[in-house]
Structure 1
């Protein structure tokens, strides 16, 4: 769907601790993706099998891209004000499951033994590019931040997402942020 779209810089991702953007998938549906900093791993350190491809491609980049949903109940990890992160892990705001920022793998909580869906990116000279053929860049920020653009090819997509968030229960996590 896309060739290569410049998103932001690695410096911005590191400074903000996450960077949210909206994409359109091959089914013309809007979705959200987060970029997160990934600290370099030591040689030989294991990663989840499903994320090895992406980890190898961007191991030197220090940035990884994940679909912005917990694998447990599709809770948004970044709800528009940054993803909660601690010690190199992305924290689900609903139940507190923690996903490794480099591999996307979760080994605890309700999402244990699952891996966040990866989105292909490339990093060159400090710039981060979307290179995943399954996604087309729409805009920076959440689906709701797109206003009229969000409903352009599928009227109501942005409104439906907003309504879904209103129905979501507040966090039940015992972890404070």
Structure 2
């Protein structure tokens, strides 16, 4: 169990981004978002086309809903469910947390190991692509 942040910090910042490693050794980004009951955690990608919600500037949200920056689908921050747009009738993959009485938020998902605060690229990991696509050394333009 690893302490990630506090409920107060997530509510003040609007969201919190961390990197974890799954049971297969692959890195994933996880977003923590405010919820009326405290904080919820979701894998940082839309169910429609794997678009990242938080690209390093925080999770776009409106009225308690996470907004996909690509197509505008909106997910309830507490349930992860989407009722509109391209991702309609899907639910974000959840991440298990425990919120202690003093407001500490702890990762308790047995399938995930904490790597660090911020996104994959911020943690200089080799378990993911670290960005929005493959790296290239080519300078050819079309």
Given the two structures, how large is their TM-score scaled by the length of structure 1? 0.73
Q: Which has the higher helix share?
A: 1
Runs of 4+ in structure 1 displaced over 2 angstroms?
160-163
Q: 1:98 to 1:163 in 2, by over 3 A?
A: closer
- State the number of aligned residues: 134
- 2: CA distance, partners of 1:68 / 1:165: 18
1:107 to 79, 83, 99: 83
Partner of 1:162: 131
For residue 104 of structure 2, the aligned residue among 104, 127, 135 is: 127
1:67 lines up with 2:36 in the alignment: no
Q: 1:36 aligns with which of 16, 33, 38?
A: 33
Q: Which runs of 5+ in 1 are unaligned?
A: 40-59, 167-177
Aligned-residue Cα RMSD (Å) equals 1.3
Structure 2 unpaired stretches of 5+? 136-142
Out of 60, 65, 76, the residue aligned to residue 52 of structure 2 is: 76
Deviations 1:80-119 (A, max 9, x none): 1100000000000000000000000000000000000000
Residue of structure 2 in register with 1:27 after alignment: 24
Please name the residue that 2:63 is paired with: 87
With normalisation by structure 2, the TM-score equals: 0.91
Residue by residue, what CA displacement relative to the aligned partner does 1:136-160 show, whole Å, maximum 9, x if unpaired?
Answer: 000000000012xx02xx5xx3xx2
After superposition, the C-alpha distances for 1:38-76 in whole angstroms (9 at most, x for unaligned) are 02xxxxxxxxxxxxxxxxxxxx4x100000010000000
SS at match of 2:133: helix
Q: Distance in 2 between matches of 1:65 and 1:163?
A: 21
